[in-house]
Amino acid sequence: MINLLKNEFFKVIKKRGFLIMIIVMFGYAILTNVIYKTVYSDLEQISESSYQGESYYKTKDDSLLSKVDDKTSKQFNKLVEQYDSGSWQYNYLLDNNAYNYLYEINSYELKLTDDKNNYEEAKKNYNNLLDILKKDDWRSIVKQNKEDYEKLLQTASLTAKKELQITIEEQDIRLDKNISFETSNKNDTLNKYISSKKELLNYENKDLEKLSDNDLENYEEIRRDYLSSEYALKHNIPLDDYASSKGILENFFNEYSLMLIIMMIMIAGSITSQEFSKGTIKLLLVRPYSRIKILLSKYIMVLINILMATAIMFIIQLLVGSIFFGLDSLKTPVIVYSSIKDSIEVMNVFKYFALNFLSCLPYFIIIATLAFCASTLFCNTSLAIVIGFVGFVIGNISSLLESFKNWWVKYVIFFNWDFTPYIFNNRPPIDGLNLNFSIVTCLVYLLIMLIPTFIIFKRKDINNV
Partner 1 sequence: MKKILECQNLKKKFGKKQVLRDVSFSLNEGDILGFIGPNGAGKTTTIKLILGLQKINGGKVTINGYDIKTNYVQAIKKVGAIVENPDLYMYLTGRENLKLIARLYDEVDKKRIEEVIEISGLGKRIDDKVSKYSLGMRQRLGIAAALINKPNILILDEPTNGLDPEGIKQLRDLLIKLAKEYKMGILISSHNLLELESFCNKVCIIQNGKIIESSSIKELKNKISDSLYVFELDKVSDLYKFIKEKFEVINKTTFKIQINRDAVPKLIEKLIRNKYQIYQVSQLQISLEEAFLEKTGGNKID
Nearer to partner 1, 158 or 286 (CB): 286
Please check whether residue 352 is in contact with residue 245, taking contact to mean a CB–CB distance below 8 angstroms: no
Instruction: Please give the size of the binding site for partner 1, defined by CB under 8 A.
Output: 26
279 touches partner 1 (CB under 8 A): yes
Position 232: which residue type?
A
Smallest separation (angstroms) from partner 1 to the CB of 288: 5
Q: Identify which range of 20-28, 247-255, 277-285, 396-404 contacts partner 1 by CB under 8 A.
A: 277-285
DSSP string, 56-99: ----S-HHHHHHHHHHHHHHHHHHHHTS-TTSHHHHHHHHSTHH
| Helix/strand/coil for 136 | coil
Q: How far is CA 152 from CA 148, 161, 170, 297, 436, in A?
A: 6, 9, 15, 74, 55
Residue (260 or 271) nearer to partner 1, CB: 271
Say whether residue 280 binds partner 1 (CB under 8 A). yes
d(CA 277, CA 294) in angstroms, rounded, equals: 17
**Does 286 contact partner 1 by CB under 8 A?**
yes
Residues in region 15-54 near partner 1 by CB under 8 A: 15-16
Q: Which is nearer to partner 1, 16 or 78 (CB)?
A: 16
Q: In the set 3, 322, 343, 382, which binds partner 1 (CB under 8 A)?
A: 3
Nearer to partner 1, 11 or 71 (CB): 11
Q: Return the range that interacts with partner 1 (CB under 8 A); candidates 14-22, 89-97, 213-221, 230-238.
A: 14-22
Q: Which of the stretches 64-72, 88-96, 285-293, 315-323 binds partner 1 when contact is defined by CB under 8 A?
A: 285-293
Residue 336 half-sphere exposure toward CB, CA atoms < 13 A: 23
Looking at 53-61, 113-121, 257-265, 281-289, which segment touches partner 1 (CB under 8 A)? Answer: 281-289
Kindly state the helix (H) or strand (E) to which residue 343 belongs, with its residue range: strand 343-347
Direct distance between the N- and C-terminal alpha carbons of the chain, in angstroms, rounded to an integer:
27
Distances (CA, A) of 51 to 45, 73, 222, 423: 13, 7, 29, 46
CB of 239 to partner 1, least distance (A): 49
Residue type, position 175, single letter: L
Tell whether residue 405 is a contact of partner 1 (CB under 8 A): no
Residue 113 interacts with partner 1 (CB under 8 A)? no
